[in-house]
Amino acid sequence: MLNNKIFILLPDGIGLRNFAYSSFYEIGKKQGFDIIFWNNTPFPLIDLGLQEIKIEDAKPHPVTDIYKNIKIQAELNLNIKKTKDNVYNTYRFPFSYSTVKTAIKSIVIQVLTVFYDTEKGLQKIRKKMNHYERKTIFYKQSLETLQKEKPSLVFCTNQRPVLAIAPLLAAQDLGIPTATFIFSWDNLPKATMVVETDYYFVWSTHMKEELLFYYPNIKEEAIFITGTPQFEMHFDKSTILSRELFCKQNKLDVNKKYICFSGDDSVTSPDDPQYIEDLANAVSVLNEKGWNLGIIFRRCPVDFSNRYDSVLANYCELIVEIHPLWKPLSNAWNAILPTKEDGELLSNIAEHCELVVNIGSTTIFDFLTHKKPCGYFRYNQKIQNNKNWDIFKCYRFVHFRSMPNEAAVIWFNDTEDITIKIENALRNPQTILNHAKDWFKVINQHPPQDSSNRIWDSIKTIIS
């Protein structure tokens, strides 16, 4: 008899939206799978009616994190050697020397990276990480859990966390197949692959080709193209509120047309307040021309700064902030987790806005599913909050090279651009949308609403 027990490993909160809040669980249950979330997040999935086994006080080996950082640096060095492209240097985080401990760690990582930035060197790093993780209490606890539960597959929702190594190793050592999901469109060029599994689930053919290029040790037959459940929520029309109710709940003017400004965190976009002010000035000009427009501001869910306060006060008649419905479960930044309600809120914002503007975000695809175009800012502010930050660095990242046509996005190349280009997009969004659809097909397997079904079909193939 086929063992249909599947462990969904949640090493952190990143996988909640894709696998706990989507239709993924319900689809799997209908197909006869016994699904248990192996939950390392503080979020109680039992409250959603999901089966879970909580992971308590898991800790990686202290040496593993050092090797992980050496691995990242070595992979980026190797990518530069393979491609003769220095763009990979832009993915490096600056080393810290703020304390003696962090300074020593930074120096050790830089020195040892020199000895490991070859394919053979990377193999040695992987073996060392696995060696140390097998020595942890968490590895032993994982063995005990798996020996007791006997799942037919351990599916990890995110390829990045060090904490995922021990339970995946335990499964492999017991002969249980393992798989991981590459959770974001920009992850592979950034050297974020921390775990090693038997199978890999990717968004698209494009991502499969990236995986084979950056990780030649992975065999092609181990890769399943499924798409991502990330966008499935937008196809559930039962969550869409009427225009009147949405406006009433969020204190909006039902007669206005709204543009969404989707914020980034302060590191990714330190000048966001200036960009939303530029948008507000452009919208004010359009309103003088007879348009009746407003701005919905959706900040980055982990940005609790006061950096927007002055612009929100100065344009209070124009900008309405709708806060993301994320939930802080502790004081740690990584314990601020998405909720199912926030996915429904984002879907409604996309439905009831005319377009979204930001800096290089995947919200272009969220809004595309609602037939709404996206605008990207592409100019630096004259007075910058961080003089080392450059918006053009963002658009040189490798994942933007997947765009088949620049016309997929409304490009705001200076402040004078914004008014005319928004007006053109409001009058004729279809050309932009057609090119954006072409990009979406490159990025994510279509139809996008069937991703969970494709994942379960792939799981069925593996375990049978």
Residue 59 has pLDDT above 90, yes or no: yes
Instruction: Give per-residue pLDDT as tens, 258-298.
Output: 999 999 988 889 999 999 999 999 999 999 999 999 999 99
Residue 175: count of CB within 10 angstroms of its CB: 6
Helices H / strands E in the chain, number of each: 16, 15
pLDDT (average), residues 418-431: 97
pLDDT (average), residues 53-58: 95
447 upstream amide cis, omega within 30 of 0:
yes
**Up-side HSE of residue 412: CA atoms within 13 Å toward CB?**
26
Percent composition of the chain: helix, strand, coil (DSSP 3-state, to 5): 50, 15, 35
Check if 5-60+136-228+448-463 and 233-443 are the same fold.
yes
CA geometry: angle 329, 336, 242, nearest 5 deg: 105
Residue with tokens 């209908």: 30
Q: In this predicted structure, what is the pLDDT of residue 405?
A: 96
Instruction: Give per-residue pLDDT as tens, 299-314.
Output: 998 888 999 999 999 9
Q: 162, 167, 166, 157: which is closest to 35 by C-alpha?
A: 157
pLDDT (average), residues 253-261: 98
pLDDT grade for 100, boundaries at 50, 70 and 90:
very high
Domain boundaries, the chain: 5-60+136-228+448-463, 62-128, 233-443
DSSP for 238-284, please give it: GGPPPHHHHHHHTT--TTSEEEEEE---TTT-TTHHHHHHHHHHHHH
Q: In this predicted structure, what is the pLDDT of residue 335?
A: 67
pLDDT grade for 387, boundaries at 50, 70 and 90:
confident
pLDDT (average), residues 148-152: 98
Residue 2 has pLDDT above 90, yes or no: no
CA geometry: angle 196, 198, 203, nearest 5 deg: 85
DSSP 3-state of 441? helix
Q: In this predicted structure, what is the pLDDT of residue 331?
A: 58
Residue 332 has pLDDT above 80, yes or no: no
Residue 412: count of CB within 10 angstroms of its CB: 23
If one looks up domain 233-443 in CATH, what number appears?
3.40.50.2000
pLDDT (average), residues 397-416: 97
User: What's the chain's average pLDDT?
Assistant: 95
pLDDT (average), residues 29-58: 95
pLDDT (average), residues 77-100: 95
Q: In this predicted structure, what is the pLDDT of residue 330?
A: 60
**Would the CA dihedral through 297, 300, 301, 302 be positive or negative?**
negative
What is d(CA 57, CA 458) in angstroms, rounded to the nearest whole number? 32
pLDDT grade for 1, boundaries at 50, 70 and 90:
low
Q: What single letter denotes the amino acid at residue 254?
A: V
Spatial CB neighbours of 350, under 8 Å, sequence gap ≥ 6: 234, 260, 356, 363, 366, 367, 369, 370, 372
Q: Which CATH superfamily is domain 5-60+136-228+448-463 in?
A: Glycogen Phosphorylase B; (3.40.50.2000)
Sheet holding 52-54, edge to edge: 52-54, 34-39, 5-10, 153-156, 178-181, 199-202, 223-225
Q: In this predicted structure, what is the pLDDT of residue 459?
A: 98
DSSP 3-state of 430? helix
Q: How far is CA 63 from CA 58, 59, 106, 109, in A?
A: 15, 11, 13, 11
